Amino acid sequence: MFIAQFLLWGCMKSVETTPETKSVLTIPTAFTPNGDGLNDTFLVQSSVSLSSFHMVIYESTNVQIFESNDIKKGWDGKASGQPEPAGSYLWIIDYQAPGMAKITQNGYVQLVR
């Protein structure tokens, strides 16, 4: 943790900050689950071995449609066995690598049909 001090409107201000942690994950921004064997699964990759991993996918109505604790198990674009429509889907990933603090990341993946 760092304490930064700076001058704000003539007064000294102190702010506690934590150093930014560089992500070890590669997270796709789109995938095409059309059965052609190319980019059919939303699959996250890590540059290091992880001690924990948890991923959740939500549809636009904030309903959870996918969950995995295994980085090797990606989302196939289906919910309850039925294909989801093309669109943006929110993902939230919690993970930890040895020697690092737990990290939470979120973003959107575009499902293209």
What pLDDT, in 10s, does the model give residues 17-27? 444 556 799 99
**Is the overall model pTM greater than 0.95, yes or no?**
no
pLDDT of residue 23: 76
Range of the domain at 39: 21-111
Distance CA 22, CA 19 (A): 9
Tell me the two tokens of residue 4: 């930064």
In a domain, 107, yes or no: yes
Domain count, the chain: 1
pLDDT of residue 108: 96
The CATH number of residue 53's host domain is: 2.60.40.1220
Sheet bearing 64-68, strands edge to edge: 30-31, 103-111, 87-96, 52-58, 64-68
In a domain, 14, yes or no: no
**Strand 82-83 vs strand 30-31: parallel, antiparallel, or unpaired?**
unpaired
In a domain, 77, yes or no: yes
